[in-house]
Amino acid sequence: MALVQVRNSFPQGRARQYSLEKPFWWPTTAPVPPSYVYISKEHNVLGGFAFIGEGIPVATGAAFTSKYKREVLGEKDCDEVTVAFFGDGTCNNGQFYECLNMAALWKLPIVFVVENNLWAIGMSHLRSTSDPQIWKKGPAFGMPGVHVDGMDVLKVREVAKEAIGRARRGEGPTLVECETYRFRGHSLADPDELRDPAEKAHYATRDPITALKKYILENNLATEAELKTIEKKIDEVVEESVEFADESPVPSRSQLLENVFADPKGFGIGADGRYRCEDPKFTQGTAHV
Ligand SMILES: Cc1ncc(C[n+]2csc(CCOP(=O)(O)OP(=O)(O)O)c2C)c(N)n1
Ligand SMILES: [Mg+2]
């Protein structure tokens, strides 16, 4: 069972508390939230997905919609581009390759962005993939593959502008590999004991936020005081969102099977015909079907 705390970064959206044994929050404007998800219609955020790689076909479908609007429905001013973000570990998943193929075949307006942080929870990228240079998989499908320093905000911006321009010109998808790193364990459940302290220390010196701040100050684009104000505002938004989520009501157990389209017989409905999740002992011990 997922026990993840997602802090609400869309306070204007609706945050509800979804609790089985421990709290689990999400921010969403969707009527019913999936697992650890950020969805925002207002911001065109199509969501995160519990199973890694699942978002890639969804993104490919969204890009197809844009092409369909432009070429079939005649919406000539439709310049939408879909950007799909996922990790290095996810690139070992079949859906990635199927979608690269389809997107290249149909010249879809999409940018595939791999955040290669060298680890998939505790699995090293170098131990788990045949060719660690993910960007090379782009040309194999007939699209450009770009490798960029993901710790350099402005370089990433340049690469993004080029890929988005290409998609808008009808030239099809781009695969972008951003080399980056994560500064903490994968989640609250990850003690982060597997990564070499020297590796962590090396990447800590390349923190992209610190580097961008230095660039901004050196180029007189903002003052230290202005940056402090932004940081303070962010802290306030996060705090307010956490409070909002904490104070939101716990949904009922019967919501467990909301929007489950498959026949839940054998899983969700007991011999007595009642939803098993209505049994107060449902989450205790080993589940029995
Ligand atoms: C299909 C599937 N298998 C396993 C998991 C468990 N899992 C959650 S995150 C993760 C690692 C993902 O690594 P990566 O793609 O590199 O992304 P990162 O978290 O490093 O950004 C795994 C294996 C999952 N969510 N979905
Ligand atoms: Mg990773």
For residue 53, how far is its CA from the centre of ligand 1 (angstroms)?
A: 8
Q: Can you give the pLDDT at residue 289?
A: 42
Q: Enumerate the domain spans of the chain.
A: 51-206
Residues with a CB atom less than 6 Å from ligand 1: 50-52, 86-90, 115, 117, 119-121, 186
Pocket probe mutation, ligand 1, options 56, 118, 121, max atoms within 8 Å of Cβ? 121
Q: Which two tokens stand for residue 255?
A: 């919501």
Taking only the tens place, the pLDDT of each residue in 131-154 is 999 999 999 999 999 999 999 999
Q: Would you say 245 and 14 are in contact if contact means Cβ atoms under 8 Å apart?
A: no
Is 3.90.1150.10 the CATH classification of the domain at 51-206?
no
Q: What is the mean pLDDT of the chain?
A: 84
Q: Which two tokens stand for residue 41?
A: 């219609």
Q: Can you give the pLDDT at residue 114?
A: 98
Residues in Cβ contact with 112 at an 8 Å cutoff, skipping those fewer than 6 apart: 56, 59, 84, 86, 96, 99, 100, 103, 138, 173, 174, 175, 176
Judged against a pLDDT cut of 70, whether residue 8 lies above it is answered with no
For residue 182, how far is its CA from the centre of ligand 2 (angstroms)?
A: 8
Judged against a pLDDT cut of 70, whether residue 163 lies above it is answered with yes
Judged against a pLDDT cut of 90, whether residue 258 lies above it is answered with no
Q: Can you give the pLDDT at residue 259?
A: 74
For residue 119, how far is its CA from the centre of ligand 1 (angstroms)?
A: 9
Q: How much of the chain is in helix, strand and coil states, percent to nearest 5?
A: 40, 15, 45
CA–CA distance, 231 with 234 (Å, rounded to integer): 5
Mean pLDDT over 209-221 rounds to 97
Q: Which residues surround ligand 2, an ion (CB under 5 A)?
A: 87-88, 117, 120
Q: Can you give the pLDDT at residue 264?
A: 58
